Amino acid sequence: MSELAGKTAYVTGSGRGIGRAVALKLAAEGAHVVVNDLEAEPAEDVVAAITAAGGDAVAAVGSVTDADFAERFVSAGLDAFGGIDIIVNNAGYTWDAMIHKMSDEQFEAMLDVHLMAPFRILRAAAGPIRDMAKREAEEGREVFRKIVNISSVSGTNGNTGQSNYASGKAGLIGLTKTLAKEWGRSKVNVNAVAFGYIETRMTEVSDEKKTVTVDGKTVSVGIPSKVIEGVKASIPLGRAGTPDEAANGVYLLCSPESDYITGQVLMVDGGMSL
C-alpha cells in the first residue's frame, strides 16, 4: 500500500512503544519518516527496520524539550526529504504523584514535554508549511498536510495522581483546536488522538517497583496487577490496546480519508471514556 507515497512524516518519541509503531505504520504506507528518540540506538534501530523494508528514514536524536530541538528536527526532514506533510507529536512520559506531594519540577516537566515541545515543533514548521501551501495554491493544487497531537483520556477526563500529565494533555487539545482554525487556510488538518490504556513499557503489569530514567529523571513504570484488572474491567472491549492498534488510530488522521476532518479528538481507548 502507498497512500502516503512521497509524503514526509515527523514522529517524536518513535524509538519505542507507540511512537515506533506509528513510524513503522507510516513508513509501510509509503511515507519517508524522521525518527526521534532520546537515545541514538533505538532511533537507529527503527531507521534500520524501515530501510530494510524498502522505506526511507533518518534519525533526529535528542530531547524534544531542548531549546534547539524543534528547528533541528524540522531541518533534518527538510534536508533529507525536502518536505513536511505529517507531524505526530508523540514523545512523552508520566511522572505521577498526588497534588499535595507533587513538586514544581514534576508539574513543569509534564507541561514542558507534552505541551511546550509540540508548540515549539509546530512553530518551527509553520514557516515552511505556509511557504509550501502558498506555492501549491498559486499552482492551483490542493495539498493537505496532517498534524496529529497525542493526548490521553487523562487530558479529556482527568486521572487521579496525574494533575501534571492531565494538564499537559488537556492543554495540547486546546493547541490542537486553535491551530485547526489558524492553519485551515493552508490546508492543514490538525487533530488529536486521546489514548486510553495501551500496553507499553510504561504501563506493563508489574507488582514490583520499577523505574526508568527519562531525560535525566527517574520515573516509576508498571502498574500493579490488581489495578490493571480494575482498568480492564472499565474498558468495554475488555482489554488494553496494543501499540499497533494505537498506531492505526493515528494513521486514520494521517490518511487522505481525513482531508475534511480537523480540530477533532479521536478517542482510541476501547470505549474506556464512555
Q: The dihedral of CA 262, 25, 20, 243: what is its sign? A: positive
Collapsing DSSP to helix, strand or coil, 206 comes out as: coil
Three cell numbers at 189?
A: 488538518
Q: CA–CA separation, 254 vs 2, rounded Å? A: 13
Residues near 111 by beta carbon (within 8 Å), at least 6 away in sequence: 164, 167, 168, 171
Exposure letters 182-191 (e unless 16+ CB within 10 A, then b): ebeebbbbbb
Is 10 an active-site residue?
no
Q: CA–CA separation, 188 vs 159, rounded Å? A: 31
Write down the catalytic residue from 10, 93, 165, 197: 165
Q: CA–CA separation, 153 vs 273, rounded Å? A: 7
Q: Are strands 217-221 and 265-268 parallel, antiparallel or unpaired?
A: unpaired
Three cell numbers at 70?
A: 524543534
Q: Write down the H helix ranges in the chain.
A: 17-28, 40-52, 69-81, 104-111, 117-138, 153-157, 163-183, 225-233, 243-252
Where in the sequence numbering do the catalytic residues fall?
A: 165
